[in-house]
Amino acid sequence: MTRQSQLRSPSRPLAPSPAPRAPSSAPPPAARLAAPRPARGSDWLIAVLAAVCILLLLCSHGAPVSPTGPQLLLCQSHERCGDKFYDPRQDCCYDDAVVPLGRTQKCGNCTFRVCFEQCCPWLVNRPRESFVVKVKGHSCYSAPSSDDRVCSRSTI
């Protein structure tokens, strides 16, 4: 066979073919991008800081907003008085009504703060001392204490 016939021969390729590749255990490039990366030590710190930032934004004291209905505002303490909500830092519930913390009322000839004290009947054989003002939370029928104020009946 001559050199020219070798060049024209279809049985012999003109350029050497690349060697076949051995199967690889590495995933294809698209699969490498979708695989989750292993967690680093600082990932939990970033997650905690993000959660704290979100809570600070939700609980920040920006412009005051009043609820328009019976819903509660997030991060503000509210109490219920009957069917109404109130802020215990400003008001209290007295006789199923929301009243300001400074509200006072007569108890015989004494004045008591309705949010912090209570007017109790005095059931002792003392006709002139007919009421006693006790700290709220103490029973009206408990023994007298140094915090109690005895009030006489009004003569009006």
Give per-residue pLDDT as tens, 115-152: 999 999 876 656 556 889 999 999 988 888 888 998 88
Residue numbers of the chain with a pLDDT score lower than 50? 72
The answer to whether the predicted template modeling score (pTM) of the entire model surpasses 0.75 is no
Cβ pair 118, 134 in contact under 8 A: yes
Residue 130: predicted pLDDT: 81
Domain boundaries defined on the chain:
79-152
- Give the amino acid at 43: D
Task: Write down the pLDDT at residue 13.
Answer: 53
Neighbour-count burial for 93-123, b at 16+ CB within 10 Å, e otherwise: bbeeebbeeeeeeebbebebbbbebbbbebe
3-state secondary structure of 133: strand
Write the CA distances from 77 to 59, 73, 89, integer angstroms: 11, 8, 9
CA distance 105 to 103: 7
* Closest by Cα among 53, 99, 65 to 76: 65
Give the model's pLDDT for residue 108.
87
Asked whether the CA dihedral 37, 39, 42, 47 is positive or negative, the reply is positive
